[in-house]
Amino acid sequence: MSTMDKICSHITCIHCGSDHEIWTKPGDLESWSNGELIQEVLHYLSEDDRELLISEICDICYGKLFPEDD
């Protein structure tokens, strides 16, 4: 699928202010907004991109804010 078949969302991390682009298929963000599970409707995005859509926190900041227990 080319970028011509996708929609770009610009997201700014609320923690560090970094800008990100997430490309989705037309209608998928609306389906998620209407209650479909993000991991089902946006399954083709990485977990980090899905988290960015949910929390507006990038993967680097998320790792700093919520470190994994060793």
pLDDT at 70: 63
Please write the tens of the pLDDT for every residue from 8-59.
Answer: 999 999 999 999 999 999 999 999 999 999 999 999 999 999 999 999 999 9
Please indicate, yes or no, if residue 23 is contained in any of the structural domains.
Answer: yes
Please indicate, yes or no, if residue 27 is contained in any of the structural domains.
Answer: yes
Range of the domain at 41: 3-65
Please indicate, yes or no, if residue 49 is contained in any of the structural domains.
Answer: yes
Please indicate, yes or no, if residue 60 is contained in any of the structural domains.
Answer: yes
Please indicate, yes or no, if residue 16 is contained in any of the structural domains.
Answer: yes
pTM score of the predicted model: 0.86
Domain count, the chain: 1
pLDDT at 61 over 80: yes
Q: Which letter, b or e, does each residue of 15-38 get, where b requires 16 or more Cβ atoms within 10 Å of its Cβ?
A: eeeeebebebeeebbebbeeeeeb
Which pLDDT band holds residue 69 (cuts at 50, 70, 90)? Answer: confident
Please indicate, yes or no, if residue 70 is contained in any of the structural domains.
Answer: no
